Structure 1
Amino acid sequence: MLELADTHNTSSRKTWFAEVVLPLAIAKNYTYRVPFELNDAVAVGKRVVVQFGKSKLYTAVIHSLTERAPERYEAKYLMDVLDDSPIVTEQQLQFWQWLADYYLCYTGEVMNAALPAAFKLASETRIMLNPDESVDRSTLHDKEFLIVDALDLQPELTISDIVKLLGQKIVMPVLKTMFEKNIIHISEAVNEKYKPRKRTYIKLNPIYSDPDMLRALFTQLERRAPKQADAVLAFIKLSREQELVSKNDLMEASGANAAVVKTLTDKQILIAEEKNVSRLYYENFEEAATFQLNEAQQGALDSIRQQFQEKDVVLLHGVTSSGKTQIYIRLVEEAIQAGKQVLYLLPEIALTTHVIERLRKYFGNDIGVYHSRFNDNERVEVWHRVLNHQYKVILGARSSVFLPFDNLGLIIIDEEHETSYKQFDPAPRYNARDAAIYLASRYQAKVLLGSATPAFETYFNARNHKYGFAELTERFGGVSMPQIEVVSITEETKRKTMQSHFTSVLMQDMQQALNNKEQVILFQNRRGYAPVLICRVCAFTPRCINCDVSLTYHKSSSHLHCHYCGYKEESMTVCPACGSTHLEYKGFGTEKIEDELSILLPEARIARMDLDTTRARNAYQTLLNDLEEKRIDILVGTQMVAKGLDFSDVTVVAIINADSLLKYPDYRANERSFQMLAQVSGRAGRRGKTGKVVIQTYNPHHRVIEQVIANDYKDLYLTEIDERRNFKYPPFYRIIQLYVKHKDAEQLYHQSEYLANELRKHFGERVIGPEFPLISRIRNMYIKSIMLKFEKDSVSIAKVKLLIREVILQFQTTKLSKGCIVQPDVDPY
């Protein structure tokens, strides 16, 4: 009777159905019925709580609303609406759909990549107390108090645990409120916080601006505390010379220690104030604020403006240190004046903090930063600020393309060639550069791509007038390009002038730099101490138990490590195969370079920048800070040292072994080698001092090395592009790679062959493989790859992808596919 009465009372009300995007890798969206009491609360882009399966709860996003019920199943009721207003725009939902279609993945996977974890609460999401906040329990509601109490006893709870604790199914609104109050964290997303570098500045208490008061103070201090008097006198002298006096400057000028300064601040004679400062070139910002473009920069800027009238995308090809950033700033200023939002993409946020600070100097609170080193609270805050139009400029890494823009006018993609813009795992395996170009088209925005060594596809599009093109051929300020010297390792080995892995030329240049109080960067694109441990008797090499790779020795841990799955084991002194003790390490990585340099140059202060040394909290910033303040003489690193480093005293840069780049088995090897060598070389001599680059190689006459010396990107492009055309590679063909994975090698053989044959029925000779990739087993999963090549102009790529989806779906419905994973990678980079 109650049910009948309820139906009668609501019969005049509309029945709504909400199609929602679930954060799952499922092929379609599901539709839920909206309870009558939530009719006024639902809207496209709002988050709702839904049950999926028998007991799992998820936060989904409403994709669309309709009055039509689903035909093939009975719609469940959605349980609650979490937002007062939409947190996802309709433009974003369309962008998600495009990414899913283009990169052959599911909208739920895009949603997972796009939204901060705090927006995606699910049954197994883990909750923990915010360690940075003290909770005032007197302000908590009963349910909040119970959750906090439980978290005191147990560090983490799942949402399922909280459902049981509160005795109710819908707990997400309570958790949402607690998150907004900063009481809880989402543990799966608690990353290290990005902390800006702080510097303590000193001011004199305003009461001593009266000369008589100051004189009386000084007399008193001179009699009772002469060290404090010296510090006050030093402060007065420094304050006449510079606007801001740092604590370090004061201690250095007065000879006082930190205790003396603290005593003066405790007495409130001096006032200490912490300020955020740049880690790179903070002292130059005042000057930078009034910069004038030189003739070449102004010409490039005028050309870009003119081409933006006809082209949506323009490539700025400028040599390293040519002043591209200043052109970006002018364009950002113009976009803001036009009332537009700007997205400024960088490949590696942690290494480009100087760009953040430089832009903040101009745009202040109008600029927001978004990247993975922020914790989840900070990312949610940035999301809301973009949604509420509080930021005019967003500076960020590749995930910034997912933010909720509504009035985007300009996208700048710095170092557009960088592989960091490509997401490899998990899906969506998107390229932020290409995604940003599509995103701009939805807003009728303009895109500026900047690089000293553009990706071939980008340069091809510019040469064929699809993109506009502007060029800067000289370094800013008349600084000359670094001198490049190629040294033959073979010749030096014959002459016995090699010292460990260093040629006599490099040793001499490093010693000279140290004598001149200058700095050195050494590049070796392999971390660890030695890549291979081998038995000289039976040639046994220890290998990973989970992956098809040899283990790398790390001296710091005395363990053998797998760089793919993280497996490690203790190093061995006896060969387990033959019992021999004649084991030796082959090859060398950054750790060995650092170790041997400390023996050869004992007076040098040496540091290492690679994945092993930058895992810790703020490790990047600490290294950059030490390099800037000249606490490091020699920095040894992997490709991290090629990105964004800009220091005035780095005069020598060396590539320890260029052959490891040039001999990589990939059609992009020469392009990538040129990019890496040119970018690393560009770190030398950037601020008026002439730089020197030493390239050590067994093949000094390699074509790519000669092109790097001549700084001739165009010649590289013209020679490589013919091979790309002849062998059917991008930019003339599109490539889609399918990775087929299984725990059983024999099963994988049959599955990959079947899938490849099904694809050949549609695409014929365009299907290549299946083949084992370079690494054929990772994390106990055997891998085979199938490559598909399609003509760029004569084939509809949308139809191709539709067919590929159908073939994969059909394959997954067969019994043969059991235990098999198929991962498409569109435009693998």
Structure 2
Amino acid sequence: MYAEIIIPLALPKNYTWEIPEEFLDKLQPGIRVEVNLGKNKRYAGIVKLIHDRAPSTFEPKEILNVLDPQPVIQPYQLKFWEWLAEYYMCSEGEVMAAALPSHFKLSSETVIVFNEEYGDDFSDLDNEEYLVAEALHIKHELRLTEVQQILDVSHVYPIVNRLIGKKVCFVWESLKQAYAPKKETFVLLEQEYSNEEKLSELLNNWSRAPKQMELLLSYLHLMKTQGEVSKAELLKKSGASDAQLKALTDKGILRAEKRSVDRLHYLPKDVSIDFDLTPAQGEAYQKVTECLDSRQVCLLHGVTSSGKTHVYIKLMEQYIRKGLQVLYLLPEIALTSQIIRRLQKHFGGYIGIYHSKFSQNERVEIWNKVKSGEMKIVLGARSSLFLPFLDLGLIICDEEHDTSYKQQDPAPRYNGRDAAIYLSSITGAKVLLGSATPSLETYWNAKNDKYGLVELLERFGEVRMPWIEMVDTRKVPKKQGEKVMLSPPLLDGIKATIEKGRQVILFQNRRGYTPYQVCSVCGWIAQCRNCDVSLTYHKYSNKLKCHYCGNIYPPTHTCLACGSDKLLQKSFGTEKIEELLETDLPDARISRMDFDSVRNKNAHDVLIQQFEQKKIDVLVGTQMVVKGLDFDNVDLVGILDADGLLHFADFRVNERAFQLMEQVSGRAGRRDGAGRVLIQSGNPSHPVLQFVAQHDYTGMYNEEIEKRRMFFYPPFSRVIHLTFKHKERDIVMEAAYAYAQALEVPYGKYIVGPAEPVINRVRNMFLMEMLLKLPRDSQTIAKCKSDLLKQAAILHANKKFRTVVVVPDVDAI
């Protein structure tokens, strides 16, 4: 018997291993096994298929070990991985690498690290585990090859697996973002004093050490109110020290006990919906329910602040009461903190969160809770699609238009929304897509009866849409070549809003201080050494940064070409706006929300809570402030550079600009309808700005869909974008032209390019791009994908082009 096994490598097809007789009754699809590939490389792979067909072209090796008694993934997930690999032109190994937490992907290069909080008591371990734990205790980290030497056996995966399970050690990757303790010390009253008389006698006869007495009383109070007392909480409440606690334990009054605790704190499981839907919401909810009875997918098109979340909550309640699981997808983790608080209020501990900011250990905990069916609602980013749901009933894809649903690098370059729809087709779940500004493709599918469509076109509480005004920056006095940052009407509006005790959001889609510096004498611009792109100056860190490769350079004060010190700062980012506001409004409380200011795990949440609690008057931010956040007290929204959103060489530019501006406008006047939006532009008569001013999504859709039809862009075609990369410009150009030439006969009429992109060098690799616009015919698309991969293999067979990287991106955004 043989097994087709997926290992977390980019192999074009899965390798086959032979099953030793002793493992035959232990194996089933979804179980991890230890296998050998090449000379010494070992991997934990996942069994995909068991069969009796011996490979004819090679001699298969034997499986070395079985790592799990039960499958770590659900059967449908193997089918999901296969579809993702096929559709997005990558390997199942790459999908596995993206889908599984690191603990499940052991390999011979894996480093295991000692868990300091386990301590040095190894009495519960067996002989082999003890030897590894001792070595780890001394060395702190070991490679799996070193573990093999210590034990003098090759089959170490099961032993390491057990040590990870017992929390003696963890995989090195989990250290990258590890932040929470795995064990916590709890304080207990010694058995002798559980008798009330004995305890009263002790307290009544207490004479010395008043601090210890205070500590004991604090313990008794916490014990009565909470049922259990952690050491950290007790010391904080009593203001006592470790020494005073130790004195009480030495006297035999209290004792300390280490316990394993959940990294994630869950509330009691309880469903309590304490609101009623408005008539408009009630009607939308009814229509969505009816629609999902007969269809797989439904689009809820609800204007900003129409209360789509209330409809979602009622729908989630319906599915949870049936005992089914719900996946609530959000494009950005920035959104999770506000929504999680709302959902916890209604669903308590039924909810879990899953995204990339969690450590690998936490991900394993959530993984197991979802797999057992214990966790009923998962709120997460696109990666939560890979969780092993037991009974998935509903997937809600909120802000479905958002580009963050599309994975860019590495493979699989999947779209979370589209993958969710396929996942629903194999699990029998239903999908609700929600947005105030749906993507053109989704709205077209809904209008053409492929999806159900429900519209919710009035704001919650019958609040009117915000009033939108254009500020023509051409009429604002300024120095030549300078950009208007805060026009007088906007600055006056900010001051007036703050005076009323209300809040302001300012949107600028560039982070940093200045996007580029230019020499006024010779025109030199500071550029990255590895990329053909200008460097952005970040004043906060006083560094020049490349936003493509991440390289950091010291600031420059003189032109490196002509030596002049006349450097002009062109354009502006969020840092510069923040600084300008601090000068113009010295008494205002100003904060910034962008990629640089919210680096750590809880920074988003802290900033959002401060804004909700009215501790911030003006919030300056990038796209992070646009998406789905709900603030009661915002009266004014300023879009500082609308022209910057409209000037991109991309067929989706008008759709994107409308979505961003309409979404950020929707943050204003969400409760009392007093919202105002000021849009600064040098071309206020631009058609997209007119649609934004009227909140006219349908007008924008009708105009854009005709242009898409005319030029054969999605939704009328399917696009595959190819990027060629190499360290030498001539080679990458030659390779791209050779590749395109080979495809000329079958696909010539669908090919655009190849050509150099605007930024033609990133991370020291020169780039060429090519686009295929294919008809919406599944056979043609499947044949084309196969031909593209074959052509890449033919290209790499040529010695000259062997190191040219070809990156396919299906349904590129």
Q: What TM-score, normalized to structure 1?
A: 0.85
1:139 to 115, 124, 127: 124
Residue 330 of structure 2 corresponds to residue 346 of structure 1? yes
In the TM superposition, what is the alpha-carbon distance from 1:716 to its structure 2 partner? 0.1
Task: Give the aligned partner of residue 435 of structure 2.
Answer: 451
In the TM superposition, what is the alpha-carbon distance from 1:291 to its structure 2 partner? 0.7
- Deviation track 1:466-525 (CA, whole Å, cap 9, x = no partner) reads 1110011111122222221211111122699x9972111111111112212222111110
- Label 1:602 to 1:763 Cα distance change in 2 as closer, same or farther (>3 A): same
Counterpart Cα distance in 2 of 1:716 and 1:135: 66
Written as runs of structure 1 = structure 2, the 5 A alignment for 1:474-553 is 474-493=458-477, 501-553=485-537
Residue 31 of structure 2 corresponds to residue 46 of structure 1? yes
Task: Give the aligned partner of residue 28 of structure 1.
Answer: 13
Written as runs of structure 1 = structure 2, the 5 A alignment for 1:594-613 is 594-613=578-597
Residue 389 of structure 2 corresponds to residue 417 of structure 1? no
Task: Give the aligned partner of residue 9 of structure 1.
Answer: none
Written as runs of structure 1 = structure 2, the 5 A alignment for 1:648-663 is 648-663=632-647
| Cα contact 1:195–1:618 (8 A) shared by 2 | no
- Label 1:155 to 1:651 Cα distance change in 2 as closer, same or farther (>3 A): farther
Task: Give the aligned partner of residue 682 of structure 1.
Answer: 666
Counterpart Cα distance in 1 of 2:762 and 2:786: 29
1:115 to 80, 97, 100: 100
Q: How many percent of aligned residue pairs carry the same amino acid? A: 47
- Deviation track 1:19-40 (CA, whole Å, cap 9, x = no partner) reads 1011110111111112222222
Task: Give the aligned partner of residue 166 of structure 1.
Answer: 151
Q: What TM-score, normalized to structure 2?
A: 0.87
Residue 317 of structure 2 corresponds to residue 333 of structure 1? yes
| Cα contact 1:741–1:783 (8 A) shared by 2 | yes
Counterpart Cα distance in 2 of 1:620 and 1:189: 22
Counterpart Cα distance in 2 of 1:152 and 1:51: 28
| Cα contact 2:272–2:346 (8 A) shared by 1 | no
Task: Give the aligned partner of residue 634 of structure 1.
Answer: 618
2:64 to 76, 79, 82: 79
In the TM superposition, what is the alpha-carbon distance from 1:535 to its structure 2 partner? 1.3
Task: Give the aligned partner of residue 306 of structure 1.
Answer: 290
In the TM superposition, what is the alpha-carbon distance from 1:155 to its structure 2 partner? 4.7
Counterpart Cα distance in 1 of 2:638 and 2:676: 8
Written as runs of structure 1 = structure 2, the 5 A alignment for 1:403-414 is 403-414=387-398
Task: Give the aligned partner of residue 385 of structure 1.
Answer: 369
Counterpart Cα distance in 1 of 2:406 and 2:740: 26
Counterpart Cα distance in 1 of 2:150 and 2:540: 46
Task: Name segments (4+ residues, structure 1) moved above 6 Å.
Answer: 258-261
Counterpart Cα distance in 2 of 1:499 and 1:75: 66
| Cα contact 1:605–1:634 (8 A) shared by 2 | yes
| Cα contact 2:319–2:393 (8 A) shared by 1 | yes
1:400 to 381, 384, 390: 384
Q: Which amino acid aligns with 2:567?
A: L
In the TM superposition, what is the alpha-carbon distance from 1:46 to its structure 2 partner? 0.2
1:745 to 729, 736, 743: 729
Q: Which amino acid aligns with 1:362?
A: H
Secondary structure class of the residue paired with 1:100: helix
In the TM superposition, what is the alpha-carbon distance from 1:701 to its structure 2 partner? 1.4
In the TM superposition, what is the alpha-carbon distance from 1:703 to its structure 2 partner? 1.1
Task: Give the aligned partner of residue 112 of structure 2.
Answer: 127
Q: Which amino acid aligns with 1:487?
A: V
In the TM superposition, what is the alpha-carbon distance from 1:90 to its structure 2 partner? 2.1
- Deviation track 1:395-417 (CA, whole Å, cap 9, x = no partner) reads 21101111112432211110000
- Label 1:75 to 1:394 Cα distance change in 2 as closer, same or farther (>3 A): same
User: Which has the higher mean CA deviation after the structures are superposed, 142-151 or 445-454?
Assistant: 142-151
Counterpart Cα distance in 1 of 2:395 and 2:155: 41
Secondary structure class of the residue paired with 1:342: strand
Counterpart Cα distance in 1 of 2:362 and 2:478: 58
Counterpart Cα distance in 2 of 1:153 and 1:551: 46
- Label 1:128 to 1:689 Cα distance change in 2 as closer, same or farther (>3 A): farther
2:575 to 561, 568, 591: 591
Q: Which amino acid aligns with 2:156?
A: V
1:698 to 682, 691, 697: 682
Task: Give the aligned partner of residue 175 of structure 1.
Answer: 160
| Cα contact 1:26–1:108 (8 A) shared by 2 | yes
Task: Give the aligned partner of residue 232 of structure 2.
Answer: none
Task: Give the aligned partner of residue 257 of structure 2.
Answer: none
In the TM superposition, what is the alpha-carbon distance from 1:362 to its structure 2 partner? 2.8
In the TM superposition, what is the alpha-carbon distance from 1:762 to its structure 2 partner? 2.0
In the TM superposition, what is the alpha-carbon distance from 1:142 to its structure 2 partner? 4.2
- Label 1:261 to 1:74 Cα distance change in 2 as closer, same or farther (>3 A): closer
1:98 to 71, 80, 83: 83
Task: Give the aligned partner of residue 721 of structure 1.
Answer: 705
Counterpart Cα distance in 2 of 1:582 and 1:397: 46
- Label 1:131 to 1:727 Cα distance change in 2 as closer, same or farther (>3 A): farther
- Label 1:191 to 1:480 Cα distance change in 2 as closer, same or farther (>3 A): farther
Counterpart Cα distance in 2 of 1:134 and 1:542: 52
| Cα contact 2:174–2:361 (8 A) shared by 1 | no
Q: Which amino acid aligns with 1:801?
A: K
In the TM superposition, what is the alpha-carbon distance from 1:822 to its structure 2 partner? 0.8
Task: Give the aligned partner of residue 764 of structure 1.
Answer: 748
- Label 1:386 to 1:163 Cα distance change in 2 as closer, same or farther (>3 A): same
- Label 1:153 to 1:564 Cα distance change in 2 as closer, same or farther (>3 A): farther
Counterpart Cα distance in 2 of 1:155 and 1:819: 38
Counterpart Cα distance in 2 of 1:499 and 1:53: 59
Secondary structure class of the residue paired with 1:789: strand
In the TM superposition, what is the alpha-carbon distance from 1:169 to its structure 2 partner? 1.9
In the TM superposition, what is the alpha-carbon distance from 1:429 to its structure 2 partner? 0.2
In the TM superposition, what is the alpha-carbon distance from 1:122 to its structure 2 partner? 0.8
Secondary structure class of the residue paired with 1:694: strand
The alignment yields a C-alpha RMSD, in angstroms, of 3.0
Secondary structure class of the residue paired with 1:493: coil
Secondary structure class of the residue paired with 2:316: helix
| Cα contact 1:352–1:644 (8 A) shared by 2 | no
- Label 1:58 to 1:261 Cα distance change in 2 as closer, same or farther (>3 A): closer
| Cα contact 2:407–2:415 (8 A) shared by 1 | yes
Structure 2 unaligned segments of length 5 or more: list them: 182-209, 219-224, 227-234, 246-261
| Cα contact 2:483–2:571 (8 A) shared by 1 | no
In the TM superposition, what is the alpha-carbon distance from 1:262 to its structure 2 partner? 5.6
Q: Which amino acid aligns with 2:314?
A: R
User: Which has the higher mean CA deviation after the structures are superposed, 449-458 or 675-684?
Assistant: 675-684
User: Which has the higher mean CA deviation after the structures are superposed, 373-382 or 671-680?
Assistant: 373-382
Matched residue count: 746
- Deviation track 1:645-701 (CA, whole Å, cap 9, x = no partner) reads 212222221111111001111111110001000111111122336222111111111
In the TM superposition, what is the alpha-carbon distance from 1:353 to its structure 2 partner? 1.8
Counterpart Cα distance in 2 of 1:194 and 1:355: 23
1:469 to 440, 444, 453: 453
In the TM superposition, what is the alpha-carbon distance from 1:287 to its structure 2 partner? 13
Counterpart Cα distance in 2 of 1:170 and 1:106: 27
1:60 to 45, 55, 59: 45
In the TM superposition, what is the alpha-carbon distance from 1:194 to its structure 2 partner? 8.1
2:762 to 764, 768, 778: 778
Q: Which amino acid aligns with 1:173?
A: P
Secondary structure class of the residue paired with 2:123: helix
- Label 1:162 to 1:754 Cα distance change in 2 as closer, same or farther (>3 A): same
- Deviation track 1:784-814 (CA, whole Å, cap 9, x = no partner) reads 1111111114863222222222222222233
| Cα contact 2:357–2:601 (8 A) shared by 1 | no
- Deviation track 1:348-401 (CA, whole Å, cap 9, x = no partner) reads 133222322322333333332221122111111211122212122222110111
Q: Which amino acid aligns with 1:183?
A: V
Structure 1 unaligned segments of length 5 or more: list them: 1-15, 197-223, 233-242, 245-257, 268-275
Secondary structure class of the residue paired with 1:72: coil
